[in-house]
Structure 1
Amino acid sequence: MPVFRRWSVERKARFIDPLNVLPAELVGDIFYLWLLNELYPHPQYSHSQLPTLLCRVSKSWRDFVYTSPLLWAHVVIEASQGAVPSLQVLKERLARSQSAPLFVEIVVGDHPDKEALRVLFAQCSRFRHLTLGVLNLSWWEDAPMDSFAQLRKLSVRTWTRPGLLVHEDELSSLFKSAPLLRHVNWHSTADPGPVAVNGSKLLFLDLLAFRVPITRVLEVLEACPNLRNVTISFMDESEQVPTPLSQPIVLHGLRSLYLYGSRHLACLLESVQAPLLSSFEIHWARYNGGACGLKALQTLLAYSPHLTDLALHEFLQSEDGLISIITDHSRLSRLVVTAEPDQKKLITNKTFELLTRGDKESCTLPQLEELVFRGGLYVQDDGILGMIESRRGPLKDVTYSSGSQRACGLRSICLDRCRPMELKAISRLETICQEGELKADGAFMSRTQSRFFSTY
């Protein structure tokens, strides 16, 4: 009997082992997806040991993991002195990845471990994604490197005290030897200096720059003429805003542009043209002291006839500015406007009357599907409901300049940071939502919020 029971347990153990019942390729995919789920989006140093956790389950799992290169291809490491316990272990780990593309995240502190960096960058020809978190790059030339032949994405994060050199110009050699590089995240707390960016093939750029002149940002954009998506977070508290470039930078392929920062962004807005731009969002920093960038924005958007998605956060100073944008860009399908906290009458009945569809088959923003206003609302309930009801159904036979036809109705509206409507008006809006495909959200339809948020 004991022999039979032992046999049953062993048989059951073999049966539940996925390696005994599933194809090896499927098990490998399951393990790899688990690894990615644990690693990202916020990898930590300890995550480099995740493959060894699988090895502890059984001998069959250990043998399988050791011969699965992809499970060893994600390396998260601190390459500071004293942080790497064993160079031999690091070499063995890299060897287990065989010829698989490597996804490497390296953090280097005040005192870099140059031996560990040499071991890592000896494999740079296999790097697919590289993330560097560094105080400075003075060690770069001490790590002999071949070309970054497979590198698609580069992330650089530097942090240092004002006045200290970061030596980011050392990365010029990387850009020159990475023919497949398409995506760059560059987060810097200091002026990177004249980095020789070979950016003709870059498509995606995420640039966060503190204490960096806007002229440096323009140099980067000029070096990357084929960008499709750009995110720029920029802070410069100096008083003087540089004059725009005499010859604008034309980004022929740019589709999406996100900006956050100080009034110096006005120089960028007036120095760039993006004829295919379809999505634009800007957050105007509060300490801009009431400076208005509307003229600069209009300069940019005048060369962007395909704009469909527009978000302006704490940017507009007057309702007339909003109305001018609405009337100039008839293709908008999504419009988001956030008022500054002290603005009480940025958006009034005047705007809602403009957006209300009349009896005729044409109207302002005929393709509008999503509308978001946060703060600055001074509108009667009837004005809100009248606009919403007028846009419930799609327009019929609307002809645009391109000759194409498209029927659109309002699908989503959010009015927030405002007083709620009267209960009768809220009930009416809820009925509208139930009858159609409209989604309504925000404080304006709250039944519990105080009705003394503002007065008319």
Structure 2
Amino acid sequence: MDQNVVLGNNAGAVDKKHIQGLHRSPQQNLCPIDSLPFEVLGLIFSCCFLAEDEDIHSPHPRSAPLVFCNVCHYWRDIASSIPALWSHFRISVGGRSACMLDNLKWTARWLANSRSLPLAVTLDACLLKMLPFPGRTISRLTLLQPFNLDPPENPYPGDVAHCVSELTSIHYRSYNHTRSLSRIEAEWLWWVLTEALNLRFLQWDAPLIYEPASKDGQWRALQRLCISSPVHTGTAMDILCDLTSLKSVQLELKGRFLPIEDLPIPCAALTSLTLSVYDGDVSFVEMLESLTFPALRTLDLTCRSLLISPLDRLTEPMPAVLSLVARSHAPLGSISLTLFSMREDQVVQLLELTSHSLEALSIEEPDHSYVSEPPLTLTDHLWERMTRREDSAETHLAPHLTFLSLLKCNIQSTDGVLADMVQSRLCPAIESLYISSLNGERHLADLERLGQLFAEGELEALRCEEERYCDTDNESV
């Protein structure tokens, strides 16, 4: 029977006699399970979730009855008849979940029992015809384009189209970024995007069919936007300026930027900004100089290197970042700068600008073995400015900092000064510390004391690794 297999593999050791007793008296078993509170039922069912199957095809145990219905037909009867267990129903067909096509009967039963419950639908584009939803409200729609399947002639019927105006979330994902969308696919998807007037979340993991634009009031309710394909810098500016309800944006920038006369432009609602740019891109710097983010809480910038020398680089992005932070006066709680070249005084200035709100700082220098410039060198000056001193009236930098990650930096401080800084900040404490360039010989005391703090529980996470760098003469330092 399928009950022992699932429970034995996922819930640990189970009394065999107890399982057999449940199998012999299924009708007696329905009543007590059915009478349990919904929270307890959800906890029981979640034990049947296979962690290794947690991908985009697998529904989350708290939002879909699909996993629960696969335990056995007794639990399936319960799961499909209690719609109040879930706030949304996620249906996935195709791929590893293709077996669900054999379960359309109990799926239809669940849909009938769920009445007006909003649906979160995940569908392979080529199989959309198999699960029509006439008269139902779909709030979240995820469309998956299989990697090795050619698009059908007409993959998108009108059964989902009627509810487009009610959609609040759309996620389109293509497993094959080299295959262009067919004309029918592109036209249908673009129609969905333009007609979804109540859209609040849009994630696009595929080549762009058109440059996104906001015309005639569309997407005015959009709050979260994530596009994995490169977007022109000018288009990104239009998005940030026109979509005034945006709270979170994740974009990869390319192309030129056309300067705007009325500067700077405030993006009052934005709280999270994630941008990926190219090293030395003048348009990115000009874009940063054109905007302010007074409500920004999270800033995540990645500067991908073009392997150009400092003499050939058109501009350095770090001064523009500092100017943006200073101009915005935002309550920044998290800053991540990946593959940015910077100096120690710029790190100190960044901490000074965000000292009263910063809780997490992550800096990763580029690989300097490919460029003829020194890495970020950190000395006693930074650690002393961050050290909390009882006998000093001067406030130390970033007193609320709990996460610090410094990767591929050159640590040239005196042995023990870093540990002094960490040990002095116990209220609140730096809970997570990641440094990839502590030399085991020059920083023996630092490593020993930091390890002791980790062993005593003062540091929840600690990673210190040794790396070697080369100067301009390719000599080991």
- After TM superposition, is the score higher than 0.5? yes
Distance 1:93 1:32 in 2: 17
The residue aligned with 1:383 is 417
Amino acid at match of 1:206: C
Distance 1:373 1:51 in 2: 44
Shift of 1:275: 0.5
The residue aligned with 1:403 is none
Shift of 1:276: 0.9
Shift of 1:64: 3.8
Indicate how the Cα distance of structure 1 residues 356 and 196 shifts in structure 2: closer, same or farther if over 3 A, else same.
closer
Indicate how the Cα distance of structure 1 residues 148 and 383 shifts in structure 2: closer, same or farther if over 3 A, else same.
same
Q: Deviations over 1:204-254 (max 9, x none)?
A: 2222123x322233333334211222223x164xxx642444445532122
Amino acid at match of 1:379: S
Amino acid at match of 2:447: I
Distance 1:337 1:383 in 2: 20
Indicate how the Cα distance of structure 1 residues 349 and 78 shifts in structure 2: closer, same or farther if over 3 A, else same.
same
The residue aligned with 2:392 is 360
The residue aligned with 1:324 is 349
Contact 1:157 1:186 in 2 (8 A): yes
Shift of 1:436: 8.0
The residue aligned with 1:19 is 30
Distance 2:332 2:189 in 1: 35
The residue aligned with 2:201 is 183
What secondary structure does 2:397 align onto? coil
Distance 1:86 1:334 in 2: 43
The residue aligned with 1:397 is none
Indicate how the Cα distance of structure 1 residues 369 and 141 shifts in structure 2: closer, same or farther if over 3 A, else same.
closer
Q: Of 217, 221, 226, which residue of structure 2 is paired with 1:206? A: 226
Amino acid at match of 2:403: E
Is it true that 1:42 corresponds to 2:56 in the alignment? yes
Shift of 1:336: 1.8
Q: Deviations over 1:168-211 (max 9, x none)?
A: 4644543465455322212232352355572222222222123x
Q: Aligned ranges for residues 68-147 of structure 1 at < 5 Å? A: 68=82, 73-78=89-94, 93-94=107-108, 96-98=110-112, 99=115, 100-108=117-125, 112=126, 116-117=128-129, 120=131, 122-123=133-134, 125-134=136-145, 139=154, 143=158, 145-147=161-163
Contact 2:80 2:106 in 1 (8 A): no
The residue aligned with 2:11 is none
Shift of 1:305: 2.9
Is it true that 1:294 corresponds to 2:315 in the alignment? no
Amino acid at match of 2:162: D
Distance 1:169 1:313 in 2: 37
Amino acid at match of 1:43: H
RMSD (CA atoms) = 4.4
Indicate how the Cα distance of structure 1 residues 455 and 411 shifts in structure 2: closer, same or farther if over 3 A, else same.
farther
Shift of 1:315: 1.0
Is it true that 1:276 corresponds to 2:295 in the alignment? yes
Shift of 1:313: 1.4
Unmatched 5+ residue regions in structure 2? 1-19, 369-373
Indicate how the Cα distance of structure 1 residues 366 and 455 shifts in structure 2: closer, same or farther if over 3 A, else same.
farther
Amino acid at match of 1:174: V
Indicate how the Cα distance of structure 1 residues 288 and 170 shifts in structure 2: closer, same or farther if over 3 A, else same.
farther
Distance 1:384 1:137 in 2: 61
* Aligned residue-pair number: 412
Of 339-348 and 423-432, the range deviating more from structure 2: 423-432
Distance 2:169 2:45 in 1: 20
Contact 1:393 1:409 in 2 (8 A): yes
What secondary structure does 1:352 align onto? helix
Q: Aligned ranges for residues 50-69 of structure 1 at < 5 Å? A: 53-54=70-71, 57-58=72-73, 60-61=74-75, 63-65=77-79, 67-68=81-82
Contact 2:387 2:425 in 1 (8 A): no
Q: Deviations over 1:343-378 (max 9, x none)?
A: 444323332343334542223333333322112222
Amino acid at match of 1:360: S
Amino acid at match of 1:298: L
Distance 1:299 1:452 in 2: 30
Amino acid at match of 2:434: C
Indicate how the Cα distance of structure 1 residues 102 and 312 shifts in structure 2: closer, same or farther if over 3 A, else same.
same
Contact 1:172 1:195 in 2 (8 A): no
Contact 2:365 2:409 in 1 (8 A): yes
What secondary structure does 1:97 align onto? helix
Distance 1:86 1:413 in 2: 45
